[in-house]
Chains A and B, each alone.
Chain A
Amino acid sequence: DGGITQSPKYLFRKEGQNVTLSCEQNLNHDAMYWYRQDPGQGLRLIYYSQIVNDFQKGDIAEGYSVSREKKESFPLTVTSAQKNPTAFYLCASAGGYGYTFGSGTRLTVV
């Protein structure tokens, strides 16, 4: 079945460390997105990519980085510059007329 796979489901990071969240899709979608979800805040767009080797900043890109070397993959790195990284991170892809979301990664700073 086609879909989006995010891994890991839970991730713990020490202060000052970079961590990378994986997002893979087999839907043949061109566009991919990363959202951050905080309680009571809804979803906020971090980065998005319309095509391989190209990506754009969203509303809260500071402290994050991405790459898009393959159509299927859009990893997100949470750098040590992100001051408050504890959150639920959702990856999505878009094709046709809708988004497909992954099941999310919950990142906790310890």
Chain B
Amino acid sequence: GNSVTQMEGPVTLSEEAFLTINCTYTATGYPSLFWYVQYPGEGLQLLLKATKADDKGSNKGFEATYRKETTSFHLEKGSVQVSDSAVYFCALSDDFIGGSNYKLTFGKGTLLTVNP
């Protein structure tokens, strides 16, 4: 079955530090890959996505590249801010349930804390 493995947290960084959160996956076929962010007490928000090999998703200074050869989708940001403190989830989908609807498989999440 499908699975997603994220680096375990928590991750604590100082403001303006470089961020990497590792994500690897196991899936049949050619999954789409996602990063979601969850702020305290809230639901998840889509941060970025990539739908095929070598695609790079990017948003708000975050980037991740779909690497099929290493089955990875690592999240990076060059300079983190205090406001980036949140839980980050890597996810994949290869189940298209008719049209655009599909099921997501999530990693366990990585808590990021950025200190001023």
Measured CB to CB, the residues of A under 8 A from B are 4, 6, 30-31, 33, 35, 40-43, 45, 48, 50, 58, 90, 92, 94-99, 101-104
Q: A43-B89, A99-B46, A104-B43 in contact; A50/B107 too (CB < 8 A)?
A: no
Contact status A45-B98, CB under 8 Å: no
B1: shortest Cβ distance to chain A, in Å?
9
B residues within 8 A CB of A30? 99, 101
- What is the CA–CA distance of A86 and B45 in the complex, to the nearest angstrom? 23
Instruction: Answer whether residue B108 sits at the interface, using C-beta atoms and an 8 A cutoff.
Output: yes
Contact status A96-B100, CB under 8 Å: yes
Chain B interface size band reads 20 to 34
Contact status B107-A42, CB under 8 Å: yes
Instruction: Answer whether residue B31 sits at the interface, using C-beta atoms and an 8 A cutoff.
Output: no
Q: Which of B100, B103, B108 contacts A42 (CB 8 A)?
A: B108
The B interface, classified by DSSP as helix, strand, loop or mixed, is loop
Q: Which of A4, A35, A90, A94 contacts B100 (CB 8 A)?
A: A94
A residues within 8 A CB of B99? 30
A94-B100, A95-B100 known, 17 other contacts, Cβ within 8 Å: A6-B43, A31-B97, A40-B108, A40-B109, A42-B4, A42-B89, A42-B106, A42-B108, A42-B109, A45-B104, A90-B44, A92-B43, A94-B102, A96-B100, A97-B100, A98-B46, A102-B43
Contact status A50-B43, CB under 8 Å: no
- What is the CA–CA distance of A60 and B101 in the complex, to the nearest angstrom? 20
Q: A31-B97, A42-B108 in contact; A90/B103 too (CB < 8 A)?
A: no
Q: Which of B43, B49, B106, B109 contacts A98 (CB 8 A)?
A: B49
A residues within 8 A CB of B43? 4, 6, 90, 92, 101-104
- What is the CA–CA distance of A85 and B98 in the complex, to the nearest angstrom? 31
Contact status B103-A101, CB under 8 Å: no
